[in-house]
Amino acid sequence: MDVKKIKIVGLLLIVVFLAVDVLLFLYLQRHNIGFRPRQDISFSHKTHSGKFGITCLFCHTNAENHSYANYPTTKTCMICHIALRTENKLLKSIIYSYDSMTSILYKRIYKLPEYVRFNHSLHLRSGIDCATCHSFVEQMDSLYLARPLTMGWCVDCHRDPLRYAISPRKISGIFYPEDTTEMWISLKEFEIFQNHKSAKPLNFFLSPKQLKPASIECSICHY
């Protein structure tokens, strides 16, 4: 082989390698994947969720019934930390917030554009795990944006959910009456509770659904 040819091929390879690099970089930059702001509170999901097994819904309670998943209140932190009130430096800001009734300023990572309406509860009820959109948070020390949150990415899953969606996991806190091993209320209790006159219609458990392709009409999200 000529030295020239080797040189050309080598150059081409370098160019292709660089181009792929640049494109990947641009893609990630475009969608902010890896966006990891420094929070005021150095909270570790890995410790709390991965190590101690606290479920997602324990803190982000609204995700089950509301369109948006809330940031936990300081009171939620203090459920445990009122007893574990150590003199750790990391806890200082939380204790200060609780004592002085000032809110913690979280930096938002997952933010959809203003013209998009997204409902957390509807997705949870359909049997879609948090990790589908938020990745495996229990393995992250500090949270970062792991999915592009583009419309194409949404529509991909809406068209073929079985391929993209992750089914409910124990760590998320989404349970179904079917798998009795992981239930907080047994099936019988569930039925009794539903049939009881004074009880309001139970709106925290639904019968499990087979994931079906969801609607991709524009006005499902944009209105």
Partner 1 sequence: MFNMSLLRMERRDFIKMFLTLSTMIATSCRRPELFFPSRVKDDRAKTFENRLHFFTTFPNGFLPLGIEVETFEDKPFHLVGNQLHPNNYGVLPAFVLPSIYNLYDPYRFNKPKAKGKDIDLNYAMEILFKELRNVLDKGELIIFASHYFNSPSLNELLISLENKYKNIIFYQFPSYDFYLNQQLANKILYCSSSYFLKDVTKSDLILNFRRDFLQNDVFMPYYTYQFRSKEAILVTFENIFTLTGANSSYRYIIERDNFENALLILLKYVSNIQGNNEILNLFNNFYSFNDFLPTTLFELLQSSKGKKISILVDDALPPTCHILSNLIEYAWNQAPPNYLFKIDIPLYSDELTSLREVLKEQEIGKIVFLESNPYFLGVNELENILETLTNSKIVTLSMYYDEIARRSELYIPTKHYLEFWQDYRNVDGSVSSQQPIIFPLNNYSISIGEFLLAFRNFLSDGIIGIPDYFVYLKELYTKRIEQSGLTDLIRQGFFADNVTQSVEIRSMNIDYANAYSYLKKNISRDRNNELTVELLPNSKFFDPTYSNNIYLKELPDSITGIAWDNLLYMGKNIAEKFNLRTGDFVQISNKLNDAKSELPVYVSDFFAPSTIYGYLGFGNFYENEVFQLSNANLSKLIAFGHKGNEGIFPNNCIIPIQLTKIDTKKELTFVVSQSNVYKKSTLEWVLQKYQNELIVSLYQTSKLLGKNWNMLINLDSCIGCNMCLLACQLENNIPVVGREEVQKEREMYWIKVHKYEFDGAKHLLFIPIMCQQCDNAPCESVCPVGATLHSSDGLNEMIYNRCIGSRFCMANCPYKVRKFNFDSPDNVHPNYLQQLTNPIVTVRSRGVAEKCTFCIHRIREGKQEAILAGKNEDEFTIATACQEVCPTQAICFGRRNRIEKEQLSDQIYQLLTQFNTKPNVYFQVNFNNDK
CB atoms within 10 A of CB 66: 13
The whole-angstrom separation of Cα 176 and Cα 108 is 30
Give the nearer residue to partner 1 in terms of CB position, either 180 or 215.
Answer: 215
Per CB under 8 A, does 172 bind partner 1?
A: no
User: How many Cα atoms occupy the beta-carbon half-sphere of 48 within 13 Å?
Assistant: 19
Six-digit token string for 29: 């930059």
Within residues 120-149, the interface with partner 1 by CB under 8 A covers 121-122, 125
Say which residues have a Cβ less than 8 Å from residue 199's Cβ, sequence separation at least 6.
Answer: 193
Within residues 51-70, the interface with partner 1 by CB under 8 A covers 62, 65-67, 70
Give the nearer residue to partner 1 in terms of CB position, either 9 or 23.
Answer: 23
Return the H-helix or E-strand segment holding 8.
helix 3-31
Q: Measured between alpha carbons, how far apart are the two ends of the chain, in Å?
A: 63
Per CB under 8 A, does 219 bind partner 1?
A: yes
Give the nearer residue to partner 1 in terms of CB position, either 6 or 99.
Answer: 99
Residue of the chain from 7, 51, 85, 111 that contacts partner 1 (CB under 8 A)? 111
Contacts with partner 1, residue ranges (CB under 8 A) = 29, 32, 35, 37, 62, 65-67, 70-75, 97-98, 101-108, 111, 113-115, 117, 119, 121-122, 125, 201-203, 206, 215, 217-220, 222-223
